[in-house]
Chain A
């Protein structure tokens, strides 16, 4: 722990990693809460995996893969949103296909990019310790945009997540609100990829929120608690992984997963002994 704090003081990349972890926690706490209560984990998984296609194409043509990720995440959110609204019956099949095609396209482009292909692994599993200072500012901007939009649309998101039918009767544009929410998930995915990579994004998006759900009575409190949990998971993951030189992303997810399992067991015991939680 002390050793880690020393490193944090002197090592610029570790500082970047630490800050990105906190930025990611805020985004995954707030947006992950919607993903969990609206039960759109699979849709979010579709968005996050399709992103590899955009990253691969950007990488091949010499653009910043993060910009490719941003464009493809938003595009995937709109396409998948349209599919889930229009072809609800085949939703899971179509999203599963998009998920796989996106990844396959990404792998083809990365494979054909000249040079040494070390980047594929860091896209898939993240490499938080290699993020530049400039990216930190970009991610902070994305974070601010997400929080701003959530504050603006908070009551509409709440209404649409809880009761779509009644929201429609109240004149809330259910389709546009839903698509906006998916776009915010896309922005969050871009931030989280920096921390844990494409494959593990869905875990960081859902585990803190799912754990917070056991203890929160309102959506707002769930968001705050999930963000705090996310910060604890990412910071402790960085700390634990540093000494034995473990991959940070995977360490963070293992910690988050264990915390979730522990919370689930504790909740189960509490229900057994007290009958009901409230």
Chain B
């Protein structure tokens, strides 16, 4: 790899929904090939930060560039894995059809998906190891399986930047490990930003950690210590061993 390209550049961003600031003066850089874990307690603004990078929300102050462009312009290079719990579990939709949604940008605007779209979806499902689930109804899957379906949907768009929101929420440890191992493999070709409230596994797989609690408490370039984590969470945290290369 030549000189590392800057993938995400967030500078001095403030954001509020309808009241006090949710994010304040956030400055953050993600470089090509990074695997950044964004941690922080519930309600700390982590998901908001992801949505700002996606261009779904617009900062009140500050600037966001993704691949050197406005986020909306860079969307063809970004994929997103939302929290599966936000999706209607009673919706009659097959796994295949969920994955194909990730192909809408490349598929013809009207009419049916092409054969190449279906092949791309098959390929993404193989990579996420869910090809046997293709005809199952999405709502009947387990949390971990749903997560992999949403990852396949993200992969079918052939992203260069992958954003994940709490991919291991309400998933047990063994399944969680499988998902992180998949992400580690993907990280060989895709830059990843992952949001989590849980410091447990994250530290063994990511190569940078940013703690957000309205402000950016710990910048990914600094050494992560117990003090910094405590500052982020506002109290002592039972920490697992950290093997961050920082």
Task: Point out residues on A near B: beta carbons under 8 Å.
Answer: 37, 151-156, 158-159, 161-163, 165-172, 213, 216-219, 221-222, 276-278
Contact yes or no, A166 B93, CB < 8 A? no
Q: Beyond the given A158-B97, A170-B102, A216-B92, please list 18 additional residue pairs across the A-B interface where CB-CB is below 8 A.
A: A152-B111, A154-B112, A155-B104, A155-B112, A158-B101, A162-B87, A162-B101, A166-B82, A166-B102, A170-B101, A170-B157, A171-B76, A171-B104, A213-B90, A217-B92, A218-B92, A218-B97, A219-B92
| Number of interface residues, chain B, beta carbon within 8 A | 31
Contact yes or no, B112 A37, CB < 8 A? no
Contact yes or no, B111 A166, CB < 8 A? no
Chain B residues near A166 (CB-CB < 8 A) = 80, 82, 101-102, 153
Q: Which of A161, A165, A169, A216 contacts B75 (CB 8 A)?
A: A169
Q: Which of B75, B113, B140, B153 contacts A171 (CB 8 A)?
A: B75
Q: Which of A159, A162, A217, A218 contacts B88 (CB 8 A)?
A: A162
Minimum CB–CB distance from B188 to chain A (whole Å) comes to: 24
Chain B residues near A155 (CB-CB < 8 A) = 100, 104, 107, 112-113
The CA of A221 and the CA of B97, in the complex, are separated in Å by 13
Q: Which of A153, A158, A170, A277 contacts B93 (CB 8 A)?
A: A158
- Given the known inter-chain contacts A166-B153, A278-B140, please indicate yes or no for A218 contacting B105, CB distance below 8 A: no
Contact yes or no, B82 A162, CB < 8 A? no
B window 20-60: CB within 8 A of A:
54, 56
- Given the known inter-chain contacts A155-B112, A213-B92, please indicate yes or no for A171 contacting B105, CB distance below 8 A: yes
Task: Point out residues on B near A: beta carbons under 8 Å.
Answer: 54, 56, 75-76, 78, 80, 82, 87-88, 90-94, 97-98, 100-102, 104-105, 107, 110-113, 136-137, 140, 153, 157
The CA of A154 and the CA of B100, in the complex, are separated in Å by 13
Contact yes or no, A170 B104, CB < 8 A? yes
Contact yes or no, B87 A163, CB < 8 A? yes
The CA of A277 and the CA of B107, in the complex, are separated in Å by 33
Chain B residues near A216 (CB-CB < 8 A) = 92
Contact yes or no, A278 B137, CB < 8 A? yes
The CA of A170 and the CA of B56, in the complex, are separated in Å by 12
Minimum CB–CB distance from B94 to chain A (whole Å) comes to: 6
Chain A residues near B97 (CB-CB < 8 A) = 158, 218-219
The CA of A254 and the CA of B92, in the complex, are separated in Å by 26
The CA of A171 and the CA of B92, in the complex, are separated in Å by 23
Contact yes or no, A165 B82, CB < 8 A? yes
Residue of A nearest to B90 (CB): A213
- Given the known inter-chain contacts A165-B56, A169-B56, please indicate yes or no for A159 contacting B104, CB distance below 8 A: yes
Chain A residues near B93 (CB-CB < 8 A) = 158, 162, 218-219
Chain A residues near B90 (CB-CB < 8 A) = 213
Contact yes or no, A152 B110, CB < 8 A? yes
Chain A residues near B102 (CB-CB < 8 A) = 166, 170
- Given the known inter-chain contacts A151-B111, A154-B112, A155-B112, please indicate yes or no for A167 contacting B92, CB distance below 8 A: no
Contact yes or no, B92 A168, CB < 8 A? no
The CA of A102 and the CA of B182, in the complex, are separated in Å by 56
Chain B residues near A221 (CB-CB < 8 A) = 92
Contact yes or no, A37 B92, CB < 8 A? yes
26 A-B residue contacts at CB 8 Å? Answer: A151-B111, A155-B100, A156-B104, A158-B93, A158-B97, A161-B91, A162-B87, A163-B82, A163-B101, A166-B101, A166-B102, A169-B54, A170-B104, A170-B157, A171-B76, A171-B105, A213-B90, A217-B137, A218-B92, A218-B94, A218-B137, A219-B93, A219-B97, A222-B92, A276-B140, A277-B140
Contact yes or no, B101 A167, CB < 8 A? yes
Chain A residues near B113 (CB-CB < 8 A) = 155
Q: Which of A159, A218, A278 contacts B101 (CB 8 A)?
A: A159
Chain B residues near A169 (CB-CB < 8 A) = 54, 56, 75, 78, 80
Chain B residues near A159 (CB-CB < 8 A) = 101, 104
Chain A residues near B80 (CB-CB < 8 A) = 166, 169
- Given the known inter-chain contacts A153-B110, A276-B140, please indicate yes or no for A167 contacting B56, CB distance below 8 A: no
Minimum CB–CB distance from B100 to chain A (whole Å) comes to: 7
Contact yes or no, B98 A162, CB < 8 A? yes
Chain A residues near B104 (CB-CB < 8 A) = 155-156, 159, 167, 170-172
Contact yes or no, B101 A168, CB < 8 A? no
The CA of A219 and the CA of B80, in the complex, are separated in Å by 24
